[in-house]
A = this chain, B = another copy of it.
């Protein structure tokens, strides 16, 4: 596909702690102009921590945008000068207390490319060791270790409703079944 949208004007609306908002005026192939609302995000990392007995370590936390607590894989924003793998190792121990002796890159994807550039880098964390008690103390996070077959049922019952977590459970199912 050779078609692209050329930026004719770019207007910064907001610069925040996690996201920025800008409006681009673009030229379409028919030479008409259109506006694009774009939410800039520094990118995130998601970690799939798989234990020896075929469970995944998940975290539950309140998410203000959706006004409810969600069960999700451990994840976090990539900080400046950080490689995604470093973020993965850091966030896993911060949120769950586990250290991964093996942290493998799985894939990357955009969460909502229609209006945002947020990309998530996904890692599989195995050979886990419990490092510290009371992790994520100041993050108001609850840690849950759940068997893969139960997680598949939870997806089917609509109890897991975060996109990166659904993708991760499907990946983990394939990984565990291959072992």
Interface residues of A in 63-107 (CB under 8 A from B): 63-67, 69-70, 72, 75, 107
Q: Is the CB of A13 closer than 8 A to any CB of chain B?
A: yes
- The reply to whether A163 and B167 contact each other, CB–CB distance below 8 Å, is yes
Task: State the copy count for this chain.
Answer: 2
- The reply to whether B4 and A161 contact each other, CB–CB distance below 8 Å, is no
Question: What CA separation (Å) do A36 and B63 show in the bound complex?
Answer: 10
Question: What CA separation (Å) do A106 and B154 show in the bound complex?
Answer: 14
- The reply to whether B21 and A21 contact each other, CB–CB distance below 8 Å, is yes
Which residue of chain B is the closest to A37 with respect to CB atoms? B16
A31 to chain B, nearest CB (A): 13
Question: What CA separation (Å) do A115 and B42 show in the bound complex?
Answer: 12
Give the interface segment out of A22-30, A49-57, A123-131.
A22-30
Q: Is the CB of A140 closer than 8 A to any CB of chain B?
A: yes
Query: B residues within 8 A CB of A23?
Result: 16
- The reply to whether A62 and B115 contact each other, CB–CB distance below 8 Å, is no
Query: B residues within 8 A CB of A158?
Result: 107-108
Of A13, A23, A115, A170, most B-chain CB atoms within 10 Å: A115
